[in-house]
Structure 1
Amino acid sequence: MNPSLKRISIISALLLIAVSLCCGKLTCKEGHSGPTHESMQAVFDLKSFRPAVNLSNPTISNISFTLYAVLGVNEKTQILTTFLWMRQYWRHEFLVWDPDECDGITKISLPAAQLWSPDIIVYEFVDDDVSQACPYVYVNHTGHIRWDRMLRLVSSCNLQIFSFPFDVQNCSFTFGSYMHTIRDVRLAPALTFEEMSGNSKRYLEASGEWELVDILGETSILKFGIDQWDIITIWVVIKRRPVLYVVNLLIPSSFLMLIDIMSFYLPPHSVDRASFKMTLILGYTVFLLIMNDLLPSTANGTPIIGIYFSVCLALMVISLLETVIITNVLHHSSMKSKEVPNWVRVVVLKHIANLICYKWPEDVQPPSEPQEDKPQSSNSNSESWNIQPAIQTPATHPNTNEGAASMPELKQICQYLGDLRAHLISLQKENELTNQWCQVGYVLDFLLFRVYLLLISCYAMVIICMWCVWISQT
């Protein structure tokens, strides 16, 4: 380019800038709708400077946003990903024109990259914005600029997951200038926080598992050393929709616990209840492994639903241990000559049975007061010995030789009968001991079943009350 022409263009541009700065208005020509390109180009050349005639006056920036979607909540990394429609206003004091002189044009669109804009950021952001950029802004004839843009905000948030899946999260978005202090840029909300909340609820009510509860906010001044920044802090309160987790986690777990409770009605003496309970514990463990991906995990704590599953698994193990104890008691009679101690009869068969209202079978009588053990075999021995004299004394028979010959056979038969009677007495005694140990096992099983039901009921009531309190507080 000719140096003289270049010099002339620079001088003309400076003159236009001077006119604009002095008059405060853009120029318009006849036959042109709106300000001329030359006058706006002079403003574009000043995009690196804050658009204020008097630099002692701060530029006021108004912001508002609409929460359109909650894209993700990562409890482990404490990150919230949201999608916002953000609107920002400020005044450009060099972009002013008279609509009467510019063919009635009151609003034009200009490229955002050619104009100065406040460096408003969200202090909690932890990742780059990958949303589609909006390259244009609307400029009013009074110099007010409106910039609508989409913002994919990845921000840090202190997520509280103890009450999962009935948790409520309160995350803050702090809007402020990165470099300009309150002497250069001041911030103010463009809409009230109630209006922001109402606009966001209309779009977020059908968005995924999260429901918007409210949007709150306040304006404040951030002090750092001798500098001060104007900031707007907005709290977004969102609540999780728990239906998915109740159906996939709580209801199956409750069904497995119900099956474990009903397994107590299996007769322990004829069915291998322990194998059934071990299979149930194995199935519950597989269920927890499959559903582990649905549970949030953080280094700060464990959600109460995780504690709930752990306690349910512990209760199943306790139920298995109870079955082992009852099985051991029921098979205790296999030990020969092992009678039920007197204190067991008093404590278990009398007091505990009366306490739990145990219903005795028809063929079994409740135990009476314990008495001193008497030798039961004395009568039988005496009776058996009473037979011996009668047999040893031979009956009068005309043929003494035949009577004498039959004596050894009679003695042998009497001995066989005595052994058979002693064996039957021992079998009867073992059967009585077996019945006594079985009744002890049944009473203990009935007692432990009631204690197990009480533990599960109290635990379920505590969990339900805690969740109800959290829900009512939200």
Structure 2
Amino acid sequence: MKVTMEKNKIAELLCVCFMLSQGLAATLNCSSPTAPALFRELERNLFPEHLMRPVETFSTPINITLGITVVGILGLDEKSQTLSTVLWEVLEWDIYGLNWDEQECGTKRVSVPRDKLWIPDILIAELLGDNNYQRTPYVYLYNTGHVYDDKPISMVSSCRLNIYTFPFDIQNCSLTFGSYLHFADDIRLIQGSSSEDILQESRDVMETSGEWELADINVAGTTLALESGEYSEIQFFIVLRRRPILYVVNLLIPSGFLITVDLFSFLLPPQSVDRCSFKMTLILGYTVFLLIMNDLLPVTGETTPLINVFFSISLALMVASLLETIFITNIQFASSQYGTVPHWLKVLVLRYLVVIVCLRTKEKTTRITVCIGPSNGDIAAVNTISTNSSGTQIISNNTLPDKLTPAPPDPPHHHLSMDLLKKLSRDLAAIRLQMEKHFQGSIASQEWQMIGTVIDRLLFILYIVFILSSFITISGIWIWNNSYST
């Protein structure tokens, strides 16, 4: 009798071990095709084992099919380097050995409470801050033992942003799905739909139309190797493209208008109008514009956006044009007080830069002829005032040929009058020479004025080159952004 009891215990123990080795293999036999009958079978054969992985043996990995759908893109924060999205996460796996007859139990699929089944611990590695998983209380269970788990996720994840080409930038953010605890020997992730299907479905159900649009989705299966073991992971790369119209209208176009106005201000002659006040007003307006639009510009600690460089160079050119206008204005009104132009500056500006800016040096007039003719038929005198190479002024008196004037004999008192007239003519010529020197300036002042003109033309050309290069660069980046192929 004792031997029989021991044999029965051994048989029961072997049966239990066999059941454990076979996992949760069970065929449900419903007493009737009703929901209560099916749930009684599930309560008896499946629900008590929800703490165990539903596999044949402990060494058998369970395959988890993973798929996502991007429902909404809430935004990207450049300062905190985060991405806010809303996803639908779909997990599918099979419970080993579980099945029932559709006709016998009355249904092919039934929803069961989530906490009654074993659920894989699949998490996203890039999650940050407060994330709302919005777990649904039920999952679908099919008569083949297949489990379908679909739940929405509203999350904030980390994303390494590159804003160098802002506002024409394209961002590539990754979402890495994997088990938090189980190694690849226990849980193996398998990609569900293809990247093309995920992209198309996401575009069909997209509920947001804000600053960012979904450009592409790529999928890659990876393995994270650590000292303790390897983890099976799937990475989804979400490619986002910024809609730049808002920034073009609010930033680039107004800035381009102000720069263009400052460019055409070079056409104003500095000697006749107050160009400095005009340029100072433009700089003040541009500074106020940058302060107002500062909130629209991205802020990061790694990369300086190209648009910030554009604004900085524009402001620097405006300041340089103001300083250059001050210099030219000073030359126009105080060049006579300057000394001789340094030789290196004269060679650099008046020999080389003048050729680059396509200007010609003006020939300086240093000869003035004054003719004084008597009204009563006396001999006409011609006083010629010239300046030699050393700057010495020479006043010469020439008498017209006799054939041009009559030569009647003059009375004695007429010679005295002619001497006074000649002296007066020499005095008038000297006065006129000083006036011409005052208005025309000396050779040094003319050279300073020519240097100012060359610098003004050079800065004008640099302005044109900067505007053209900026326009070409911005247009090229915009075209490249819009031609991104998915």
State the TM-score, normalizing by the size of structure 2. 0.76
Note the alpha carbon deviations across 1:114-162, whole angstroms, 9 max, x for none.
2211111111111332253321111111111111111012111111111
In 1: Cα distance, 2:353 partner to 2:23 partner:
100
- What are the within-5 Å matches in structure 2 for residues 43-442 of structure 1? 43-93=46-96, 96-103=99-106, 105-204=107-206, 207-333=209-335, 335=337, 356-358=357-359, 366-367=363-364, 372-376=389-393, 378-379=395-396, 422-433=430-441, 436=446, 441-442=452-453
More strand by share: 2
Q: CA deviation at 1:213?
A: 1.9
Structure 2 residue runs of 5 or longer lacking an equivalent are: 1-15, 367-386, 398-410
Query: Cα distance 1:135–1:236, how it changes in 2: closer, same or farther (>3 A)?
Result: same
Instruction: Tell me the percent identity.
Output: 41
Q: CA deviation at 1:57?
A: 2.4
Query: Cα distance 1:54–1:454, how it changes in 2: closer, same or farther (>3 A)?
Result: closer
In 1: Cα distance, 2:145 partner to 2:343 partner:
101
Amino acid at match of 2:49: L
In 2: Cα distance, 1:68 partner to 1:147 partner:
17
Query: Cα distance 1:94–1:154, how it changes in 2: closer, same or farther (>3 A)?
Result: farther
Query: Cα distance 1:468–1:372, how it changes in 2: closer, same or farther (>3 A)?
Result: farther
Amino acid at match of 2:171: Q
In 1: Cα distance, 2:35 partner to 2:95 partner:
20
Contact 1:171 1:235 in 2 (8 A): yes
Q: CA deviation at 1:49?
A: 2.0
Contact 2:164 2:305 in 1 (8 A): yes
In 2: Cα distance, 1:204 partner to 1:37 partner:
37
In 1: Cα distance, 2:69 partner to 2:249 partner:
32
Query: Cα distance 1:332–1:461, how it changes in 2: closer, same or farther (>3 A)?
Result: farther
Contact 1:129 1:152 in 2 (8 A): yes
In 2: Cα distance, 1:372 partner to 1:345 partner:
18
What's the secondary structure of 1:49's corresponding residue? coil
Query: Cα distance 1:251–1:26, how it changes in 2: closer, same or farther (>3 A)?
Result: same
**Segment of structure 1 superposing worse, 368-377 or 249-258:** 368-377
In 2: Cα distance, 1:223 partner to 1:317 partner:
57
In 1: Cα distance, 2:48 partner to 2:216 partner:
43
Q: CA deviation at 1:471?
A: 6.0
In 2: Cα distance, 1:47 partner to 1:239 partner:
44
Amino acid at match of 2:460: F
In 2: Cα distance, 1:150 partner to 1:226 partner:
32
Query: Cα distance 1:205–1:168, how it changes in 2: closer, same or farther (>3 A)?
Result: farther
In 1: Cα distance, 2:265 partner to 2:164 partner:
32
Q: CA deviation at 1:249?
A: 1.1
Amino acid at match of 2:102: P
State the TM-score, normalizing by the size of structure 1. 0.78
Note the alpha carbon deviations across 1:283-338, whole angstroms, 9 max, x for none.
111111111111111111111111111111111112112212211221134539x7
How many residue pairs were aligned? Answer: 428
What's the secondary structure of 1:113's corresponding residue? helix
In 2: Cα distance, 1:350 partner to 1:31 partner:
104
Give the root-mean-square deviation of aligned CA atoms: 3.9
In 2: Cα distance, 1:185 partner to 1:24 partner:
22
**Segment of structure 1 superposing worse, 109-118 or 347-356:** 347-356
Amino acid at match of 1:51: P
Q: CA deviation at 1:25?
A: 2.3
Q: CA deviation at 1:466?
A: 5.7
Query: Cα distance 1:347–1:153, how it changes in 2: closer, same or farther (>3 A)?
Result: closer
Note the alpha carbon deviations across 1:84-126, whole angstroms, 9 max, x for none.
01111112347532222113x1111112122211111111111
Structure 1 residue runs of 5 or longer lacking an equivalent are: 1-14, 381-393, 398-402
Q: CA deviation at 1:232?
A: 1.0
Contact 1:165 1:242 in 2 (8 A): yes
**Corresponding residue number in structure 2 for 1:450:** 461
